[in-house]
Amino acid sequence: MLAAMCRELETLYPEMVRIRRDLHMHPELSFQEVNTPQKVADYLENLGLEVRTGVGGRGVVGLLRGGAAEKESRTIALRADFDALPIQDEKEVPYKSKIPGVMHACGHDLHTASLLGAAHVLSKVRDKLRGNVVFLHQFGEEKPPGGAKAMIEDGCLDGVDVIYGAHVWPALSVGEVAVTEGYAMAAGDLFEIEIKGRGGHGAQPHLTVDTLVVGCQLVLNLQQIVSRHVNPLEPAVLTVASIHSGQASNVIPDTCKLTGTIRCFNPDVRQLMHEQIAKITKATCEAADAVGSLVFHKGYDAVWNHPEQVRSVEAAAMKVVGEDKVKRVEPSMTGEDFSAYLQKVPGAFFFVGVGNPEQDAIYPLHHPRFDGDERAMLITGKLFLHLVWEELG
């Protein structure tokens, strides 16, 4: 049966490509998705699923009830995200984005088409499923607070026993699958610091409080948090990514603004970094008679994969791509709000290779020329089919 399901998915491949390319040409930014969720909902309704729209805001949830389900049957959830990024598409392909300044640079179009293909196949064997399948199509993953939390609060995980999600990964070649047990992706927060002083003439620094000098000193001082306050056995990153101050070469500015991000896995390290950023900002500014204000923008919690579900992914992947193509990889310091689902039910988030130099699929996620080998959709879809069948078949 499983082999027949995979063959059925292969016959759907042209349709999955069509769906993916349509989404790629018509991307929608986080929390602005209108047409995309409508397309997803229409597709799921045509499969005869029970569909809820507007879940948590703009999410779509499809429920496939197994015909062989019993009172104590289990329910498995599969998730894909469908929002795009504010990036200009620089690829020269027929399916290039038609929306100026917006593109699917993170593969969410590939995720969506993969899950719709799996839903199509599973809808044809519903009578043989000893449980239910929930298809979670999520909005807003790219922009905190994200869509996952809101969808959970709106009941998308009600009755769900286990969840799986996939993300395309250009660092992996097409045909490869990777997973990490335990912490897989980092928690990430943003911070903004504004320094206020007293501006003046560049030739009279003694009459000013030079916020640009204070800002530069603060950048250096903040680097001591990871090197001197965080346990060296705990992964952590602090990056000051922008500094804005002044406009003229002979004027000392009265304000300086810094922005940056922190990444880590351990919640205690996260709290420590917050406290140290506040303490160092205050002390650095006060030492120079400047005034500093700090604002944090809390991002997503760390993705923590449950061991049993990691083993399920590995077992399925070995059947789909072969044992030599299945990898355990180090955790990534990038973030994902799939973490919210994993805090509620057991599950795993895994990576599917889309890299292929012959197709110019060599660019990283969030790059204006990002693209992926579309055959990865077949691998993702087959993995979903295996995971569902092993659980409910």
108 is in an annotated binding site: yes
pLDDT, average across residues 154-166: 98
Catalytic residue flag (residue 371):
no
pLDDT score of 158 = 97
CATH of domain 2-185+302-392: 3.40.630.10
Contact 169, 178 (CB under 8 A): yes
pLDDT, average across residues 142-165: 97
Beta strands in the chain (DSSP E): 50-55, 59-65, 74-81, 131-138, 162-173, 177-179, 182-185, 187-196, 200-201, 236-244, 251-252, 255-264, 291-297, 303-305, 326-328, 347-355
Per residue in 196-219, pLDDT (tens digit) is 999 999 999 999 999 999 999 999
Per residue in 277-308, pLDDT (tens digit) is 999 999 999 999 999 999 999 999 999 999 99
pLDDT score of 365 = 97
Per residue in 304-348, pLDDT (tens digit) is 999 999 999 999 999 999 999 999 999 999 999 999 999 999 999
Q: Which of 220, 211, 219, 224 is nearest to 289 (CA)?
A: 211
Per residue in 343-368, pLDDT (tens digit) is 999 999 999 999 999 999 999 999 99
Where b means 16+ CB within 10 Å and e means fewer, 178-195 reads bbbbebbbbbbbebebbb
Pick the CATH number of 187-297 from 3.40.50.20, 3.40.50.360, 3.30.70.360, 3.40.50.1370: 3.30.70.360
What predicted TM-score, i.e. pTM, was given to this entire model? 0.93
pLDDT score of 1 = 87
Backbone angles phi, psi at 337, to 5 degrees: -85, 10
Per residue in 179-192, pLDDT (tens digit) is 999 999 999 999 99
Looking at residue 174, the DSSP 8-state letter turns out to be T
220 class by beta-carbon count within 10 Å (0-12 exposed, 13-18 middle, 19+ buried): exposed
142 is in an annotated binding site: yes
Every domain of the chain with CATH number 3.40.630.10 lies at 2-185+302-392
Answer whether residue 166 shows pLDDT above 90: yes
Per residue in 220-272, pLDDT (tens digit) is 999 999 999 999 999 999 999 999 999 999 999 999 999 999 999 999 999 99
Q: Which of 218, 192, 204, 216 is nearest to 286 (CA)?
A: 218
Find out whether the peptide bond into 27 is cis, omega within 30 degrees of 0: no
Determine which one of 33, 89, 141, 374 is catalytic: 141
> What average pLDDT does the chain have?
97
> What is the CB neighbour count within 10 angstroms for residue 28?
20
> What is the CB neighbour count within 10 angstroms for residue 345?
18
pLDDT score of 69 = 66
Determine which one of 83, 176, 254, 314 is catalytic: 83
Catalytic residue flag (residue 15):
no
106 is in an annotated binding site: yes
**Residue that is written with structure tokens 């973490």 in the block:** 339
367 is in an annotated binding site: no
pLDDT classification of 168: cutoffs 50, 70, 90: very high
User: What percent of the chain stands above pLDDT 70?
Assistant: 99
- Quick check: helix, strand or coil at residue 94? coil
pLDDT classification of 73: cutoffs 50, 70, 90: confident
pLDDT score of 61 = 98
pLDDT score of 387 = 98
pLDDT classification of 72: cutoffs 50, 70, 90: confident
User: What percent of the chain stands above pLDDT 90?
Assistant: 98
Every domain of the chain with CATH number 3.30.70.360 lies at 187-297
- Alpha-carbon span 264 to 267, nearest angstrom: 8
Contact 261, 206 (CB under 8 A): no
Contact 353, 175 (CB under 8 A): yes
- Alpha-carbon span 377 to 36, nearest angstrom: 18
